[in-house]
A and B are shown apart, each in its own frame.
Chain A
Amino acid sequence: MRQSPVPRNYFRNSSPNSTAGEGRLQQIPKQRQAKQQSGKSAIQTGDEDEKLRSVGKRTKNQRQKIGFFAHFGSPTSTSHCCADKDSTTSSHMPSTSPALTPGLSSFLKSLKANPIDTSIENLISLLKRRQICHSRSCATATAYLLRSVVSLCRTSESVRLIERVQSVGRRLVAAQPREMVVGNIVRRVLGLIRDEAEDDREAEFALSESESQPQTPRAFDDASLPLDRDSPLLGSERSSRPPLTSMFSLLSHPEPENSLPSTPGSQSPNGHLNGPSKDLRAEVLEGINEIIDELGQVDEQISNYALEHIHSNEIILTHTSSTTVQKFLLRAATKRKFTVIHAESYPNNHEVTHATVSGNRSSDDENLSFESFQKPLIALGITVILIPDSAVFALMSRVNKVILGTHSVLANGGLIAAAGTRVIARAAKVHQTPVVVVSGVYKLSPVYPFDFDSLIEYGDASKVLPYEDGDLVEKIDVQNPLYDYVPAELVDLYITNLGGHAPSYLYRIVSDHYRKEDISF
């Protein structure tokens, strides 16, 4: 049964009223010579649309015949919301049909009205039911929730605040441990609180010390303080501090080490801490707002690097309908002409991928977010070739670059991405094609993949074999893994909102963004 999508697509390619995918690929050299006039590309978009429409027609016919592609092309909103829930890496369609289905937007709306505990429960159940699923939606929901938690937490001590955030964070992570961005955001908020608390303590320490002693012992840290305030998200100075002494810690003086952890307890009774602690919460809230801003801007920031990596007349292969990748390609398309081969990522994300390619996404869902107004690549005169996942290896020899989105990135440089990514990355390795992964820093998790299998989530088996085929379902074991683990050696470059990094450098970004004590909070 798993083989059926292949003949379907071959069938489509050979169909008379559509431009065959392979034929198009052979045209590429010609197109290069012709340098593609804009008028020509308009024609192209036209027949691209026609091609896709015909694909839809074909598959609808097939669906009637086989009853296999039950969800494909069906206009009902329920099937789309279903696709939303299970589509893998992309974060482009936050499941937002506010009236009908609970999702990110309804959660954010309810956040103000509901008491905080209800909101926590609400998010936990949303995560458990996978009604919020994409990395970015989860991250946004977590950040907003934690902002409310922090602002409503009426405590004057950083320790209490940390405990509170930790307990909420633990519950959220337990609700959906494979959605690693939730833990990432919690860790970053914890790091924020700790930093602010430490800054306060240092300022105080420096004050009291400067009265008694001529030199301030932490002059170096104080000097780096304004830097921290300016860019708490970049973490440029912040966490380079603890590892600074890591090798020296063996020989270091025992006193300052012992005094640091004990200060919160010892200093709190003297009442001196109450002054700056009000400030502390405001600072933390500001930091969380910056995280939320970052989540909003991350794709834009990543796409700023597009022109450095995509050159004229290149053939780019991509997979799934990841918005990050789409925006990256769109940015490059404003200046350059290139060809995109898009693997459809059957069966979990193919509908959205088809919609992304054809650009009729906005009419499909009642989602009025910014993404839905985005032009498709074909509108910018880019040749997009939609291929089944099974054709990736065959076409890889012609591909210049593979650009992939991801679900989350792990500390060792490996990644958890939509099922099929590993096949593509491996095929690229065989052909020595560079593999570029675009991902926001918020997806970067300090988790080390001890056990890859536990990180892979399994989805709705009926997408592979619908329950209409009841007699078959009883006889065979159908599995639908949503993710793949891609080892670090298959990736050549990561592009995050901070720039391009080698996989072996990711540990550094991890240590910049998360504090050691929060890694297993």
Chain B
Amino acid sequence: MATTTESTAAAGAKPFDIVATYNELLRSDPDLTMPIAAIEALVLLLTHEPSSTISETLDLLEKSTAHLKKSIPNPIGLSAGTDLFQRYLITTLQRPGQLGPAGDFKAIRTHLLSNGRLFIRRAKESREKIVAFGRGFIRDGCTVLTNGGSRAVASLLQKAADEEGGPSAVRFRVIYVLSPISKNIEEPSGEPEGMETVRALRAKGVPVSTIPESAVAYSLGKADMVIVGAEGVVENGGIVSRMGTYQIGLLAKAIGKPFYCVAESHKFVRLYPLGQYDLPIEQHVLDFKSEEDIAEQSKQPADISGDRPVELPLCDSVDFTPPHLISALITDSGVLTPSAVSEELIKIWF
């Protein structure tokens, strides 16, 4: 670490802040997913911190990843990216080939550093691949129920809508479940997440009905399928997604409607949650209070300092949808059953 501090001092700039970089990347490009932003942040980190040996690089990556995970309230999505990056580095180094051990470590480093843009482009292209695989699911005359602000779902629906009037026109309807909690913290009364997609779909001539979360059970009878996005896809094939997805999954199962999840394969994360309360996230959705507690809390100002893990704001809270509720995962590597996820993960880890 001494060398890195020296080098940063030599550069004269302020030390590289991976958390700020990550947040900045996410803010600057609304199309960027969390894992990709994490990979980008790590690439930028490597450009800022020159390291010449393999173990130095791995050590640096590990430290920064741990720091990043600790500072971000919901590290599930980004850990998929950091894991992928780390595993790629290790596997490439172990594999015989021009980038392998006999080869030059610098070669792989330059490859990673010079291709940051390429990774982002590929990640966005993977969404197009998903659309290609998922196109078959949206059929003439069907009604799709969806929720949240998943970009993959939005691009899938919009692509299907684009073909309206074309040779393979699809006439479909969308039931959009809108959460009353606004995503935008600065503007709490602002429009709910997903309104942008709703507008885009309506502009393309797709009839969209927006419903509150409480109307899902009522509306599911009119829907033919449920398509949701995911923040992370865990090892057993379950998904971590925005709050409310689990209940839609349960309802869809109860009513017997297929429940599809759209996710890029770089969102697969090595995590095995046993239930809702087993996620590595600090979120206080359930907050039991008596009159006394409220009075006490109002007296004490919230103490922000300390080593407590960062809490996830209520509007960003997530839940876990277990694999038995999911009919299929539409990913850029094809339409997978939930059990296929573990295999993809095993392939990169072992």
Interface residues of chain A, those whose CB is within 8 Å of chain B, are: 213-220, 243-244, 246-254, 411-413, 448, 450-451, 504-508, 511, 516
Contact = CB atoms under 8 A, between A and B. Distances in A.
Contacts of A253: 99, 111
Given A243-B344, A254-B118, A411-B335, 13 more contacts: A215-B98, A215-B103, A247-B266, A247-B333, A250-B84, A250-B126, A251-B39, A251-B85, A253-B111, A254-B115, A448-B335, A450-B139, A504-B339
Contacts of B87: 248
B333 A246 contact: yes
B276 interface: no
Contacts of B266: 247, 250
A248 B97 contact: no
Given A249-B122, A254-B118, A507-B340, A243 B84 contact: no
A253 B118 CA distance: 10
Contact of A448 (B39, B136, B340, B343): B136
A450 B266 CA distance: 25
16 contacts: A215-B103, A217-B97, A218-B97, A243-B333, A243-B344, A244-B347, A246-B265, A247-B348, A248-B91, A248-B348, A254-B118, A411-B335, A448-B136, A448-B335, A450-B139, A506-B337
A222 to B, nearest CB: 11
A412 B136 contact: no
Given A246-B344, A450-B136, A507-B336, A251 B112 contact: yes
A219 B337 contact: no
Given A247-B347, A249-B122, A505 B333 contact: no
Nearest to A209: B98
Contacts of A506: 337
Nearest to A451: B139
A212 to B, nearest CB: 12
A249 B119 CA distance: 9
A251 B84 contact: yes
Contacts of A505: 339
B123 A250 contact: yes
A247 B136 CA distance: 23
Given A215-B97, A247-B84, A251-B119, A507 B344 contact: no
Given A251-B119, A254-B115, A217 B98 contact: yes
A214 B266 CA distance: 34
Nearest to B265: A247
A219 B347 contact: no
B205 interface: no
Interface residues of B, number: 43
Contacts of B115: 254
A123 B95 CA distance: 48
Nearest to B338: A504
A248 B348 CA distance: 8
A47 B102 CA distance: 78
A224 to B, nearest CB: 13
Contacts of A249: 122
Given A247-B268, A251-B84, A254-B118, A412 B96 contact: no
A448 B260 CA distance: 13
B16 interface: no
A96 B19 CA distance: 73
A505 B268 CA distance: 18
Q: Ordered nearest first, which 6 A-B pairs have the shortest CB separation?
A: A450-B136, A504-B339, A246-B333, A251-B88, A217-B97, A504-B337
B68 interface: no
A252 B99 CA distance: 11
A223 to B, nearest CB: 10
Looking at A216, A248, A511, the one whose CB has the most chain B CB atoms below 10 A away is: A248
A110 B136 CA distance: 39
Contact of A413 (B111, B337, B345): B337
A401 to B, nearest CB: 24
Interface string B73-111: 000000000001101100100011111101100000001
Given A244-B347, A250-B266, A516 B334 contact: yes
A244 B340 CA distance: 13
B43 to A, nearest CB: 10
A369 to B, nearest CB: 37
Nearest to A217: B97
Looking at A214, A220, A251, A511, the one whose CB has the most chain B CB atoms below 10 A away is: A251
B226 interface: no
A161 B88 CA distance: 36
Looking at B88, B100, B123, B338, the one whose CB has the most chain A CB atoms below 10 A away is: B88
B155 to A, nearest CB: 17
A140 B199 CA distance: 53
B337 A450 contact: no
A511 B88 CA distance: 23
B160 to A, nearest CB: 12
Nearest to A511: B334
Contacts of A412: 327-328, 335, 337
Nearest to B136: A450
Contacts of A215: 96-98, 100, 102-103
Looking at A220, A250, A507, the one whose CB has the most chain B CB atoms below 10 A away is: A250
Nearest to A243: B333
Nearest to B36: A250
A516 to B, nearest CB: 7
Interface string B122-139: 110010000000001101
B105 to A, nearest CB: 14
Contacts of A411: 335
Contacts of B85: 251
Contacts of A448: 136, 328, 335
Nearest to B97: A217
B347 A246 contact: yes
A504 B339 CA distance: 6
A424 B85 CA distance: 49
Given A247-B265, A504-B337, A220 B347 contact: no
Contacts of A516: 334
A43 B181 CA distance: 77
A244 B333 CA distance: 11
A250 B333 contact: no
A450 B347 contact: no
Looking at B87, B335, B336, the one whose CB has the most chain A CB atoms below 10 A away is: B335
Contacts of B338: 504
Interface in B25-72: 39
Interface in B291-350: 327-328, 333-340, 343-345, 347-348
A364 B137 CA distance: 46
B231 to A, nearest CB: 17
Nearest to B237: A504
Nearest to A218: B97
A508 B343 contact: yes
Contacts of A508: 340, 343
A219 B96 contact: yes
Nearest to A516: B334
A506 B345 CA distance: 18
Looking at B99, B327, B337, the one whose CB has the most chain A CB atoms below 10 A away is: B337
Nearest to B323: A504
B338 to A, nearest CB: 7
